Chains A and B, each alone.
Chain A
Amino acid sequence: QVQLQQSGPGLLKPSQTLSLTCAISGDSVSTHLAAWNWVRQSPSRGLEWLGRTYYRSKWSHDYEESVKSRITVIPDTSKNQFFLQLKYVTYEDTAVYYCARSVSGSFHHWGQGTRVTVSS
């Protein structure tokens, strides 16, 4: 049974970097069968896919255009986890952030969510 456990701070000031961790159990971050994603949810923007990392013959990444200049999704094979880094946060980045495992595009497993607030 795949489980995703999120960790990371929930309160940031504008211009800081958001860093979240998603620890994987029941699968490997290096699997060829899935991808590892970050999705966020806010009342104003709804559910919004942000980015993913995945391994086939090499590591690859895809990012949503609106955050592409600020986001990095990084695998950590030594601890079977992956990270989200979102630089220069603004109030508009206030949301609940989820990590999720996707198979061919649909999200089969989700982390528990981290409520992130950007406030001065």
Chain B
Amino acid sequence: ELVMTQSPATLSVSPGERVTLSCRASQSLSSNLAWYHQKPGQPPSLLIYDASTRATGIPARFSGSGSGTEFTLTISSLQSEDFAIYYCQQYNYWPWTFGQGTKVEIK
């Protein structure tokens, strides 16, 4: 089974800072990767799909890049509502799988 590895596990950040999250796959995914964030008590919410396409209504401060096995989610200037857990998900191979998440917390 394909393994998705996210790093770091936790990131302590101040509002306004630039944030870069990493997702690595054990096999090439082409561009079949999505990013989500999840706040306590809520379902995950789609941010990015196809590695770099912002989902409907997602602000431009969120951007995704990468292909193959290395992917990055960048938040250009972290806002208070962005403190959450971020997950990557691959849909290139069955079964579709998620990374273990990166928690972005207030510094």
Residues of A whose CB lies within 8 Å of any CB of B are: 46-49, 62, 64-65, 98, 100, 102-108, 110-113
B91 touches A65 (CB 8 A): no
A113 proximity list for chain B (CB < 8 A) = 42-43
Q: Are A46 and B89 in contact (CB under 8 A)?
A: no
B interface residues with partner A (beta carbon < 8 Å): 32, 34, 36, 42-46, 49-50, 55-56, 87, 89, 91-92, 94-98, 100-101
Contact residue among B43, B49, B97 (Cβ-Cβ distance under 8 Å from A106): B49
B86 to chain A, nearest CB (A): 12
Which residues of the partner chain B approach A64 to less than 8 Å between Cβ atoms?
95
Residues in A with CB closer than 8 Å to B36 are 107
B92 to chain A, nearest CB (A): 8
Q: How far is the CA of A105 from the CA of B91 in the complex (A)?
A: 5
- Residue numbers in A under 8 Å from B94 (CB-CB): 62
Whether A106 and B95, one on each chain, are in contact in the complex, defined by CB atoms closer than 8 angstroms, is: no
- Nearest A residue to B35 by beta-carbon distance? A106
